[in-house]
Chain A
Amino acid sequence: MTEPIVEMAGVSKRYGDVTALHDVDLRIERGELLAVVGPSGSGKSTLLNIMGTLDRPTSGTLRLDGFDVGALTDRAVSALRARTIGFVFQQFHLARGVPALDVVADGLLYSGQPRGYRRSAAEAALRRVGLGHRLTHRSHQLSGGEQQRVAIARAVLGDPPLLMADEPTGNLDSQAGGVVMDLLRELCAGGTTVVIITHDRDIAAALPRAVRIRDGRI
């Protein structure tokens, strides 16, 4: 397993006349914990979208877990995404009025697992992030930190090798943010590659590796 989990070569992304990413080469080894840091508008979200296969590069190649993403169909990319990547967003993206257990269980909805398995895996994941006592709480009844931990539980369900977090602490106070960061570190210690996108230099400085991005260049 020496193959890197992410390998980007000469990746560019243009939106009309605007070049958001400029000839990016990036290699992320398995088990790394790294930050992609840069001011807003620097292209870090674009980088995340391309790395997370949510968007396709205008030019260049992306190899994810050994697969050349550019050569795959939408169906295959979706399957790869379901299996390989877990996403955590700044806005949590939890469905309102749904019990935490079901929110998390939906993380495996597109993996082909039966519902009973999804729910028991979800329960285990929620316990793992310290929310074993919040299984039946609906998302709007939870605090921001708890909501983000629910989102992390959903992202790590099914043990994807790569976890991408876009400003995971952006909407949280420092204490809740600290809990979330500790959790992400813990996950990395368990073998998951964790990529954190942030504009916060303090967070970046606390991580083993930081990739700085400015004006679409690394």
Chain B
Amino acid sequence: MRLSLTDVVRVAGFGLRSRPLRVFLSALGIAIGIAAMVGVVGISASSTAELDRRLSAFGTNLLTVAPGQSIGGVNARLPDTAIGMIAAMPGVERVSALGRTEAKVYRNDHLPPEQTGGITVFAARTDLPAVAGTRVTSGAWLNEATANFPAVVLGAAAADRLAVVRTGPGELVWLGGRWFAVVGILAANDLITDLDYGAFVGWPVAAAELAFDGRPTTIYARARENAVTSVQPLLGATANPEDPGEVDVSRPSDILAARQETSKTLGALLLGLGAVALLVGGVGVANTMVISVLERRSEIGLRRALGATRGQIRTQFLSEALLLSLFGGAGGVVAGIGVTAVFATVQSWTTVVPLWAMAGGLAATVVIGGISGFYPALRAARMSPTEALATT
């Protein structure tokens, strides 16, 4: 005679219910291990999803060209022909540029000159947002008209430092020794964080008012997706044919991806720790089951007297161990999702827990439960009914 599955589960569930505290504690051991593993996988998956989101928002085809250090150690500058040369390259779709000025920006004209707030004033081309993938949260970017007037657009962090929250003709900052109207505030830029600490004025007004020499310090180029790798090595020589070694070319999306790779190593370490926790949890389950078998000798004897076969006793204790670990596993998966959700929410990411991590977590508990329940179940089944009944 075989027991139906519901009977097996019912008997196992009864065995667990009669010792709730011990069952809870040993399930907790499993749960901690599974939660750690699901959490690590979930957090790393959420961070990867966030990276993908950023990359797809900004594109992986953005290249930046900046002057490197010259041999003398002075900051080199790019020749003013560089923008045109790069724009003419095959595979390059759009180009924009920034030019660093020596001007400083203050909230008002009473502040001491050294209190610059770390904000850099750039001369910016009007096509920058389209190329660098920035947008304004308030007001508007510079256009052909405002680029000729004392108007400024602030990066997100710069606006914060200057305590500027509104835009408009009445919102003024003291920039380069005269008043500039704040016409726009940029959204935080994940890909090019330098832009957050910038104050951007029009190219013509910078030349006229801020002693700007008209030479770009950063050129942003959007290449065709399939031409990025062929364009990148040529950018240096194109920007500065006389001294290609003094040009730094980089691809911001690569930097982001590299940062992601570094965090993966840490993730693997944590995953290992989770596996150790799971192993310890498995030992806890085995321990609980061994004690349970010893304590329940009379129950085993009675069940044998009622006609249970050795196999049925084995099944009972094995399914108890499985059910116990499955409780822990399910709790652990829920806790792992919770940890991921809290972490992701704090980082304002989307919570992503891959299905395979949840299924894998539960599968791991089934394996752990099976292994740790095997020996105790075998012991219970081997016990002779008379010996089991003799102990009261």
Contact = CB atoms under 8 A, between A and B. Distances in A.
A54 B305 contact: yes
- The main secondary structure of chain B at its interface with chain A is helix
Nearest to A48: B386
Interface string A91-126: 101011110000000110111101100000000000
A102 B56 CA distance: 62
A93 B18 contact: no
Interface stretch (A28-36, A79-87, A176-184): A79-87
Contacts of A87: 302, 305-306
B237 interface: no
A82 B1 contact: yes
B1 A111 contact: yes
Nearest to B298: A93
B101 to A, nearest CB: 82
- Which range holds the interface residue count of chain B? 20 to 34
A89 B304 contact: no
A68 interface: no
A208 B116 CA distance: 113
Interface in B47-92: none
Contacts of B308: 78, 82, 109-110
A78 B386 contact: no
A109 B11 contact: yes
Contact of B392 (A55, A91, A154): A91
A98 B298 contact: no
A91 B302 CA distance: 11
Contacts of A49: 385-386
Nearest to A89: B389
A75 B305 CA distance: 13
A216 to B, nearest CB: 16
A2 to B, nearest CB: 26
A112 B306 CA distance: 12
A43 interface: no
Contact of B1 (A98, A106, A112): A112
B304 A115 contact: no
Nearest to A50: B386
B305 A110 contact: no
A115 B306 contact: no
B259 interface: no
B385 to A, nearest CB: 4
Interface in B1-15: 1-4, 6-7, 10-11, 14
A74 interface: yes
Interface stretch (B262-270, B309-317, B334-342): B309-317
Contacts of B10: 115
A112 B2 contact: yes
Contacts of B3: 109-110
A106 B386 contact: no
Interface of A: 49, 52, 54-55, 74-75, 78-79, 81-83, 85, 87, 89, 91, 93, 95-98, 106-107, 109-112, 114-115, 154
Interface of B: 1-4, 6-7, 10-11, 14, 18, 298-299, 301-312, 384-386, 389, 392
20 contacts: A54-B301, A54-B384, A55-B386, A74-B309, A75-B310, A75-B311, A78-B310, A79-B309, A81-B304, A81-B307, A87-B306, A93-B299, A93-B302, A93-B389, A109-B11, A109-B303, A109-B308, A110-B1, A110-B3, A112-B1
